[in-house]
Structure 1
Amino acid sequence: MAIALIAVLLFEAVLLMAWVAGYFSWGITLFNERIAASPAMQARLSLGSLERDLPQDKWLRLAFHALPDGSMAFRESFAPSFGLRYFPVMRGRIVLNARRHEVRVIGLCSWFVAILSLLLLPLVAMRPMVA
């Protein structure tokens, strides 16, 4: 079981680093927000502005990448940090919808976190002292 978890963790890391478009398109949705945005606001939205404008004092730095369908993928950066480090739980996409004048932010759950949760749930139910 531990080998399978390590394999999932490594496979997911490769998908994240390679920016595989399909990996950022489907999964368990943790966050789905629609934000109204005028055409002028949508025109100002760029990868550089997203990376530069996010606060970085408390959380890991986010990395953004343009996908072939015109949307933008995001994930926690693999850059070394000296602050509080946590295990990344979410990756996602930012989709511009010019017709509806909105920006949609979709956050998807990490495979490793989902599988680890599913494996630990029966263990905790059978042996509560393990938790």
Structure 2
Amino acid sequence: MRLLQKVIVKQILTEKSKDALFNRFQEQKEQLHKEIDQLRFQMKKIEKNKKWSSSLLESRFEKEQESRLEKIRILDFQMDQLQKLPVGSELVEKEMEGVADVKVGDRWEDVNAAKTIIVKDGIIVEIR
């Protein structure tokens, strides 16, 4: 019988992966800044057409901008924490689902235990 099982993928932090993560965070921040600029542009465009209530429009756009600003603050925090982490640290990259084969006589604790895949610079180095 086959079961779906949660698999945790962890990344060992190297200088190369640290730089890649930092760059990815930076790109996400830049994208969020672009989205905020686009929201401001759209708001001004809609205000000129006078199709929406001004207060309703402002509160809606304010909410969208604040959401993106919060994401930027989170990215700043993550970038700060990334700089503090030593090389060799293990970071949880993502959780996936995998297939586990089970048969009569298998120990349930072994089958039920969460599996972990360790990746270093894009190469699987260990499966726990």
TM-score range, shorter chain: under 0.3
- TM-score for the superposition, normalised by structure 1: 0.26
- TM-score for the superposition, normalised by structure 2: 0.27
Higher Rg of the two aligned structures: 2
Whose relative contact order is higher, 1 or 2, with alpha carbons under 8 Å and at least 6 apart?
2
Greater percentage in helix: 2
